[in-house]
Amino acid sequence: MSVSSTFEYDPQEYYRALRTITTLTPLRWVVPLFAIGIPAGMIALEIVVAHRHPERGLVTPALSVLPYALLGAFWLALIPWSQRRRAKKLPKLNPGVRGPQERCIDAEGYHSRGNSVNLDVPWHVLRKAVETEQFFLFFYNWQCAYFLAKRPLSPEQVREVRTLTRSGLGERARLLEG
């Protein structure tokens, strides 16, 4: 039994897959933590100082925190922006995504075929698989994954991918349906 899907590269779909993978990685909280945490800590410190020294007022403390808040906002916006830009430019940079793309899941593992791409990843090499509403994600390390979009798959094929993934990865497969 195997499930195969052939499609053309879609920058929007690739971007959605990148965003989904990002939300599932362990370090997803690092940028928001620093981007929000540092300005919040600075604001809290300035409030304490302003409370102890009311003659200073709040204008100077607010202005001293502003660069950190702007830097945090920049970093929060940079990652999605860079992922969207990467998705749009990928066909120019990587000829492997031009033309028809084929993804296959079978008893052996995950397979990808395309223009200059011939990839076979056996189940034992994969760290985990995660199913979302739009994708099957096959993580080969803690932050990078191959994806199979559900869009071109029939409901029967989605069930087959679940069955193959569960048999190949066991407890390392987080699937939506039991």
- Condensed to tens digits (0 to 9), the pLDDT of residues 73-111 reads 787 788 889 888 988 998 888 887 788 889 999 999 999
The predicted model gives 148-160 an average pLDDT of: 93
Q: How confident is the model at residue 60 (pLDDT cuts 50, 70, 90)?
A: low
What pLDDT does residue 98 have?
85
The model's pTM: 0.74
The predicted model gives 111-129 an average pLDDT of: 91
Task: Dump pLDDT digits (tens) for 127-138.
Answer: 999 999 999 999
Which residues contact residue 166 at a Cβ distance below 8 angstroms, ignoring those fewer than 6 apart? 173, 175
pLDDT over 70 percentage in the chain: 94
Beta bridge mates, 114: 117
Of 161, 174, 170, 144, nearest to 110 by C-alpha is 161
